[in-house]
Structure 1
Amino acid sequence: MGLPHGANPAIEAVNLSRSYQIRSGWLRPRTKTIDAVRGVSFTIERGELFGLLGPNGAGKTTTIKMLNTLLLPTDGTARVLGFDVTEHPVEVRRRIGYVFGGDKGLYDRLSALDNLRYFAELYGVEAARQLPRIHELLELVGLSGRERERVEGYSRGMRQRLHIARGLLHEPEVLFLDEPSIGVDPVAARALRETVEGLNAQGVTILLTTHYMAEADELCDRIAVIADGVIQVIGTPEALKSGVAADTVVEIEVAGLTGEHEASLRALSGVLWVEAEKTEAQACLLTIRAKAGADIYSAALGILAGLHIVRVSGREPSLEDAYVAIVGGPAYRASAETP
């Protein structure tokens, strides 16, 4: 069965929705409807690396599972490479790969080679093509020479690279990557990013979900931010960042910070948000974002007077700043393409 004539986008979602019903109580059970995804619409072009970002519970994984036929939509439609996900699920599955973060999906007591042989059979890869394809993928993901070791001895990063190899066995045109670098150390995460970039350069269309903003900024051609089951904004990383480009971002590394200090900083005029992150030096890195023109340097230092301040610096707003602004409230004003 060939592709339908004129099917240009790799993925097209139109008003895609998914609701669940949950029951609670015993003596008087009640049924409640949860709207996990509410009218999501977007298009991903062939060869594009598209990011889907959002907080936990925003609807990212539910959206991906509807697109890759693991969940039926409650409403709306979705097409992958021209095939409707509900009417032609088998055709969709033949053309997609799905890689998710975590340890599930591999057999620990088998070697990487035996895992890939097993999944090649499941995916219907021709027998004569299996071993050459497996060795191509082991080379691609950097596991050549380690393929005969049991997966139970693999690091988290090696497992994730094997997950990617598994998802590519049948040479899919579209690859879904659901938080592939979760729990992976920085070195392994960089190797994963290089692998993803290499796949995209070969023409594979990729839909990526991640909580790592730097990863999304580096990899994605365009990004959709989803919150409360609704797409909030779609645009390039540069377009999303332009929405907070005029804001002031100040970083202060300080020791002895308390909750009272944070509350006082948040109460300053013009401050949009404050985040405190512990550093290795037993100090805290404060990130303060304020409206353009707000003089927060002197006010913030006044609140922190008496504490040991390691450094104070300003920086350009990042994709993380834009993301926080988008999911944090309606104050975000982007020049990005909106859905």
Structure 2
Amino acid sequence: MPSFYAKAPKRPRTIAIVLFDRTKLIDVTGPLQVFNDARSLAGSPAYAIALISETGGPVVTDTGVALETLPFSQCMSAPPDTLLVSGGQSALQAATSGALLDFLAGMAGQCRRLGSICLGAFILARGGHLDGRRATTHWEDCAQLRAEFPAIDVREDSIFEEDGGIWTSAGVTAGIDMALAMVEEDLGRDEALRLARSLVLYVKRTGGQRQFSAALDQQIRSRGDRFDALVTAIRSNLAADLSVPRLADMAHMSERNFSRLFTETMGASPAQFIEEMRVDAACDAFQRGDVSVSGAPLLFGFGNPERMRRAFQRRKGISPSDYEARFGPRPPMTTS
């Protein structure tokens, strides 16, 4: 094992994370924590990790906290298994660095995995590494990535994307989701689940293709706080009668006025809003293993399995049973 990487027994996989001035701290430390805590079957550290920058030395992050790094030159003598580029607003400036682009070009053919966190995707894009591939970045910047690099298949609803060994993640904490997926690929689902439980995370975030929950999405789109109390009541009673007459009564408004103001304020009709809340809540429950597909229609207010199936198809593009199979907890392995 080259001395460049943190020492760990039995030749663990090597990971290098690229930093640059004012890089976003959590884009580095989130994935770093996941990889640092991962363990092999023997209980030894599964990864040897290095933070790197063009010249080495301390790199000041966006928070003002400095992280010590090693220079690119040392990494070139011992290419890592996985090379990740951090993000933050300063990534847009870093994408113009010839030294960084040359370094990534040299490493691309030698690393098993190349990836980016958040706006680090712009650096990979500038180097041509994402051309013809699926990729994502922070949801606020997906349109810019698509406009500047039309050869990339930008997926703005993705938590992370992997295409031909090139990984990209969405905003900020999505780098943690991507790191967990890499651990699952390398070490199996059991270790990824252990890490997720230890770090109090989902091993796969609800929906797989949503960067934030439906509830938060609606809050962001909302043009006021008029219906905050009503939304709280809806989320707490998804199995109740949530028809427009009932909701209008709860809001002390006429049905017509309620429907108009709710749609204007929340950016969705009452029926659309409630369907999204119900699907989101069912996804959470399926992922945790709290409820079966057969029990979900009544528990979350869909009424019957067919209405739930149609709602899932509209919101997630898959059936409830497919969602549960893909994102729900796996049964424990048994030994004979």
TM-score (ref. length: structure 1): 0.34
More strand by share: 1
The answer to which structure, 1 or 2, has the higher relative contact order (CA under 8 A, 6+ apart) is 1
More helix by share: 2
TM-score (ref. length: structure 2): 0.34
